[in-house]
Structure 1
Amino acid sequence: MVYALLALAIVSEVTGTVALRFSEGFSKPIPSVITVVAYLAAFAILAQVLNRGMAVGVAYGIWAASGVALVALIGALFLGEGLTWIQAGGIGLVIAGVLALELGAAH
């Protein structure tokens, strides 16, 4: 259940970040409202993940790294932003770092 909540927090954060891109500096009301609501939801859900016992380093590491990776992929696939091989490698390293945190916490 805790990982399902963490996944929901990640989706909320990614939604907020993508909406932020469309808010044009908070000048467009609908994407601006989506940004604020999604970020509030992401932090509230992340707080529940921590309340249910997941270590803060692991939870935040997974949340942040997954968000970075997903936003970069969404930007490349749907928003016309580039993604070089070096950037893709960096995303891979971020994911590897999160896996190291998770595996280290399991012991």
Structure 2
Amino acid sequence: MNVYVLLAAAIAVEVTGTVSLKYTDGFTKLLPSALVIVSYGTAFYLMSRILKLGMPVGVVYAIWSAAGVALVALIGTLFLGERMNPTMILGLILVISGVVLLELGGEH
């Protein structure tokens, strides 16, 4: 399987878990709490598969974390009533730019 497909899946389940944290009420609500645990477990399993396929750990983690940050911020802004200001947008652009540079400089 393509490492980028696995990475996209890992990012999607990690973002699902992170957004679900908002609804756990300190891990007192069973369903969102279970979703967080299953999502993070699945994300780390998928990342281990990606690493086994030979993608460098620094590149995997950079893409995974930056995409997760950007997506969670976007979901928070669009669906959870959280605010985004120009400084935050610039920060996201810088994080994503850094990941692109890591990917361009990586050996594949």
TM-score for the superposition, normalised by structure 1: 0.97
* Residue 79 of structure 1 pairs with residue 80 of structure 2: yes
Deviation string, structure 1 residues 42-72 (Cα, Å, up to 9, x no partner): 0000100000000000000000000000000
The one-letter amino acid paired with 1:93 is L
1:1-107 correspondence runs (5 A)? 1-106=2-107
The one-letter amino acid paired with 2:16 is T
The one-letter amino acid paired with 1:88 is I
1:28 deviates by 0.8
1:27 deviates by 1.1
5+ residue gaps, structure 2, are none
Identity value in percent: 54
5+ residue gaps, structure 1, are none
Deviation string, structure 1 residues 9-49 (Cα, Å, up to 9, x no partner): 00010000011111111011100000000000000001000
> How many residues were matched structurally?
107
**Large movers: runs of 4+ above 2 Å:** none
Q: CA RMSD in A?
A: 0.9
The one-letter amino acid paired with 1:58 is V
TM-score for the superposition, normalised by structure 2: 0.96
2-structure distance, mates of 1:106, 1:81: 38
2-structure distance, mates of 1:69, 1:81: 13
1:106 deviates by 4.1
1-structure distance, mates of 2:82, 2:30: 24
The one-letter amino acid paired with 2:20 is A
